[in-house]
């Protein structure tokens, strides 16, 4: 099928590359000419494991363009995957969505087009997009006809494992009140649903993985599924973090508690990793939007709000624990291991590392950080802050009064802690992700504090 994707961010690019890999003719459209030029050279503007390789494998069916008419005029399915960042009031900024919908209305020519909202949009946006497309189409094409339908197809990809999540998804959700739109989307995803494609060697199919669930619903339900899924995951993490604070107080070990409850299949063992809490572009934005939608309807979203509050507290708690240990933060040198909001990405949006570092700087400490992948981005995006950057993980230990582990990159397990301890002013490490081996750290002569264990 002929597919266009508007927006080449994380969601748009991974969706476009995957659909081309599955056999569709895909054009990815973006207003950023530099990004499109880079993509045309086969270079991904984002760090996502295996994206470059999958782009290469799908190259013959994949185009990148800044021309809306090239991308949209012949498309049978158009995905809108533009950013919807949070505004100060918690509502998403829909400016890019509006421009994308208007461009679609101006350029579609195919007799039947499914316009798919892939961006996370407030409930009811499907109807709004439809009216924007209709107005733009009518003002450009008085008299001529194009039938189009707006559908919602929320995405559930995690950064760092986006391609794995897409090719071997738990489910594909499509919301529309139009049967033909649902069947068009089912056809588009058929190779994925039925797993008829040959898996790339670098992303093998998990053993016994047979089919992807396909769920169709009305438009609003699909829109709400996206928010509810992210809010539920966020509150699962906040729940375990609340229990982890209690664990510290009563002398329990959160890793045992998480395992003990996670073995109950009704609860499940995923998203029970206690620590510094969630960051990234999605959870904060989507929980804020859900709360704001609730407000619009006079419904306080108390559970979602509590999840947010606990998450904010974790970052404050990390600084408080450190202050309690060091007594004075002024003039202290604090090393930070991990800057990205999670491992296997260079994304720094709502990164806990920034928040914690800033709080320490505000209290007079010097902060030096290292990340295996997000360094260059951090140097650019955090140029206004006083955060300093080390060239290696070991270098953050130099003269440090404490080192905080904030992102659980696997390579941090390979640090020679005995050697690194020798470089420190004070041998203290605070593991914000329950990532390091307490026995090895103790053996190296460091004092380690973890969230969720009374050390």
141: exposed, middle or buried (C-beta count within 10 Å: 0-12, 13-18, 19+)?
middle
- Check if the beta carbon of residue 73 is closer than 8 Å to that of residue 226: no
Q: At what angle do helices 283-296 and 219-250 cross, to 10 degrees?
A: 120
282 belongs to the catalytic site? yes
Distance, CA of 50 to CA of 162 (rounded, Å): 9
Q: Residue 113 or 339: which CB sits closer to ligand UGA?
A: 339
Name the minimum Å distance from CB 281 to ligand UGA.
7
Residue 353 tokens read as 């590392």
Buried b vs exposed e over 341-364: b needs ≥16 C-beta within 10 Å? bbbbbbbbbbbbbbbbbbbbbeee
In 3-state terms, what secondary structure has residue 197?
coil
Name the minimum Å distance from CB 345 to ligand UGA.
7
Name the minimum Å distance from CB 100 to ligand UGA.
17
Query: Which regions of 109-212 does DSSP assign to beta strands (E)?
Result: 112-117, 147-152, 171-175
Question: Residue 253 pairs with which residues in a beta bridge?
Answer: 453
Q: At what angle do helices 95-107 and 125-140 cross, to 10 degrees?
A: 40
Name the minimum Å distance from CB 108 to ligand UGA.
27
Q: Residue 277 or 372: which CB sits closer to ligand UGA?
A: 277
In 3-state terms, what secondary structure has residue 135?
helix
Q: Residue 18 or 420: which CB sits closer to ligand UGA?
A: 18
Q: Which residue ranges make up the site for ligand UGA (CB under 6 A)?
A: 120, 155-159, 230, 233, 237, 271-273, 275, 277-280, 282-283, 341-342
Name the minimum Å distance from CB 236 to ligand UGA.
7
Q: Which of 254, 282, 319, 430 is catalytic?
A: 282
Q: Residue 355 or 401: which CB sits closer to ligand UGA?
A: 355
Q: Residue 175 or 427: which CB sits closer to ligand UGA?
A: 175
- Beta strands 447-450 and 112-117 are unpaired
Residues with active-site annotation: 282
């Amino acid at each position: 099928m002929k597919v266009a994707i508007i927006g080449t961010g994380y969601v748009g690019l991974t969706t476009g590359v995957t659909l081309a890999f599955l056999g569709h003719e895909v054009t990815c459209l973006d207003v950023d000419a530099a990004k499109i030029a880079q993509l045309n050279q086969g270079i991904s503007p984002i760090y996502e494991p295996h994206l470059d390789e999958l782009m290469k494998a799908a190259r013959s069916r994949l185009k990148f363009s800044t021309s809306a008419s090239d991308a949209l005029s012949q498309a049978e399915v158009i995905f809108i995957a533009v950013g919807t960042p949070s505004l100060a009031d918690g509502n998403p900024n829909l400016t890019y969505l509006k421009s994308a919908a208007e461009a679609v209305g101006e350029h579609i020519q195919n007799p039947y087009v499914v316009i798919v909202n892939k961006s996370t949009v407030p409930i009811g946006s499907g109807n709004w997009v439809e009216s924007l497309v209709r107005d733009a189409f009518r003002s450009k094409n008085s008299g001529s006809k194009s039938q189009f339908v707006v559908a919602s197809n929320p995405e559930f990809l995690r950064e760092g494992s986006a391609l794995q999540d897409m090719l071997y998804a738990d489910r594909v959700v499509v919301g529309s009140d139009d049967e033909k739109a649902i069947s068009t989307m089912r056809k588009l995803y058929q190779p994925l649903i039925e797993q008829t494609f040959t898996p790339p060697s670098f992303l093998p199919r998990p053993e016994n993985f047979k089919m992807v669930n396909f769920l169709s619903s009305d438009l609003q339900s699909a829109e709400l599924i996206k928010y509810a899924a992210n809010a539920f995951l966020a509150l699962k993490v906040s729940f375990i973090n609340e229990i982890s604070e209690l664990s510290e107080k009563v002398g329990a070990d959160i890793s045992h508690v998480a395992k003990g409850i996670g073995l109950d299949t009704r609860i499940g063992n995923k998203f029970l990793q206690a620590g510094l809490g969630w960051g990234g572009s999605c959870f904060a934005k989507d929980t804020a939007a859900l709360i704001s939608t609730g407000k619009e309807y006079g419904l306080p979203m108390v559970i979602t709000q509590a999840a947010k509050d606990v998450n904010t507290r974790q970052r404050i708690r990390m600084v408080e624990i450190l202050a309690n240990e060091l007594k004075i933060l002024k003039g202290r040198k604090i090393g930070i291991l991990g800057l990205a909001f999670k491992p296997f990405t260079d994304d720094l949006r709502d990164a806990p590392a920034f928040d914690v570092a800033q709080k320490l700087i505000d209290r007079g400490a010097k902060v030096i950080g290292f990340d295996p992948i997000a360094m260059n981005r951090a140097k650019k995006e955090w140029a206004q802050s006083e955060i300093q950057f080390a060239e290696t993980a070991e270098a953050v230990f130099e003269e440090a009064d404490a080192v905080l582990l904030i992102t659980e990159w696997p390579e941090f397990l390979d640090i020679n802690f005995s050697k690194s301890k020798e470089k420190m002013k004070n041998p203290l490490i605070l593991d914000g992700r329950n990532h390091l081996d307490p026995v090895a750290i103790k053996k190296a002569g460091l004092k380690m504090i973890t969230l969720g264990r009374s050390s």
